[in-house]
Structure 1
Amino acid sequence: MRVHLGSDHAGLDLKDHLTRWLTEHGYEPVDHGPFVYDALDDYPVFCLRAAAAVAAEQAEGQDSLGVVIGGSGNGEQIAANKVDGIRCALAWSEETAALGRQHNDANVVSVGGRMHSLEDMTRFVEVFLTTDFSGDERHVRRIGQLASYETTDELPPLPDSAVGRGPDA
């Protein structure tokens, strides 16, 4: 499996570690940068490229996922989620890494290089890469609602239990 990586300066060391770890574990890492430490670099430059590569390869039927890394992982997740076809999950535990795949069919994971130990973050990525989407109907339905909104800008219909309540009433 090909794994696309992008980060900012805060994630550079983890990205370099993961590149080696992925190779040692039979993955094909593709590093989208940065390649040198620059405290003023802009994470969208690198994270958008990693996410766009995942989206393009998946559209071609290839087996690929992505990892984006920053200080907290929040901005990197936001950047990746701007790419059509990407669902990026922020992982801060093994459980959130697994649920991002199982329930959301996330194809990119974001981790915070300043939030956890190197060992923990490596484990979050490993769990993400080795967990499959459950395919449960409720998760497929929810992902479909999100995908539809992305293309139509139309909100999904309210369930009967919500009709006549809230701001849409």
Structure 2
Amino acid sequence: MKIFIGNDHTAVEMKTAIVEYLESQGHEVINLGTNDLNPVDYPDLGFAVGEAVGKDVTSLGIVICGSGIGISIAANKVPGIRAALCYEKEAVELARQHNNANILALGARFIAVYKAVELVKVFLQTQFEEDRHSERVRKLCDYNG
């Protein structure tokens, strides 16, 4: 699977561990984030991953900043994106099962690196349940303000 990943300077270590895991599992990883500690603007990275996933609807995305909040807000500005900020396994499962989340957002300041990798595993293994959730997801996608 193709996975786009974007991170700011607070999340280089976490992104590196996640990329290593994903590549070890045979996923194609496209790194849209920074690789050093020089400050960058998380909105630009959230937009970039959101746009990439929006154009390739068979792909998924991962975005990481200090809290995960700002970068998830940025990604969700892109039409068709359902970025879910998750800190726990159960939230990741529900984001995929009920919301068909196509981007996982993580907070590097609040999640240990090993736990972030575990959350990514859950994100990739969990499927959308469709049925009663399909209409709700359609509403999320169709809303234009």
Task: Please indicate the TM-score interval, normalised by the length of the shorter structure.
Answer: over 0.9
2:51 corresponds to which letter in structure 1? A
Query: Match of 1:2?
Result: 2
In the TM superposition, what whole-angstrom CA distance separates every residue of 1:90-137 from its partner, at most 9, and x where no partner exists?
111001111110000010010111112111111111101111100022
Q: 1:146 & 1:45 partners in 2: Cα distance?
A: 23
Structure 1 counterpart of 2:134, one-letter code: V
3-state SS in 2 of match to 1:103: helix
List alignment gaps of at least 5 residues for structure 2: none
Count of residue pairs the alignment pairs up: 145
2:96 to 81, 98, 101: 101
Aligned to 1:45: 44
Q: How does 1:7-86 map to 2 (within 5 A)?
A: 7-38=7-38, 40-58=39-57, 63-86=58-81
Map 1:137-152; keep pairs closer than 5 Å: 137=132, 139-150=133-144
The one-letter code matched in structure 1 to 2:82 is: R
Largest Rg, 1 or 2: 1
Q: Which runs of 4+ in 1 moved over 4 A?
A: none
Counterpart check, 1:90 vs 2:65: no
- Quote the Cα distance in structure 1 between the aligned partners of 2:69 and 2:47: 14
CA distance in 2 between counterparts of 1:105 and 1:77 reads 15
Given that residues 5 and 47 in structure 1 are in contact (C-alpha distance below 8 angstroms), is that contact kept between their aligned partners in structure 2? Answer: no
Give, in whole Å, the separation in 1 of the partners of 2:22 and 2:138: 31
When the two chains are superposed, the root-mean-square deviation of aligned CA atoms in Å is 1.1
TM-score (norm 1): 0.82
Higher relative CO (Cα under 8 Å, sequence separation at least 6) belongs to: 2
2:108 paired with 1:113: yes
Q: Helix, strand or coil: the match of 2:63? A: strand
TM-score, normalisation: structure 2: 0.95
CA distance in 2, matches of 1:28, 1:57: 13
- Same amino acid, percent of matched pairs: 38
Structure 1 residues not aligned, in runs of 5+:
154-169
Q: Quick one: distance in 1 between partners of 2:34 and 2:141?
A: 30
Specify the SS of the correspondent of 2:123.
helix
Aligned AA for 1:46?
L
Deviation at 1:147, TM superposition (A): 2.4
SS, match of residue 86 in structure 1: coil
- Quote how far apart the aligned CAs of 1:43 are: 0.7
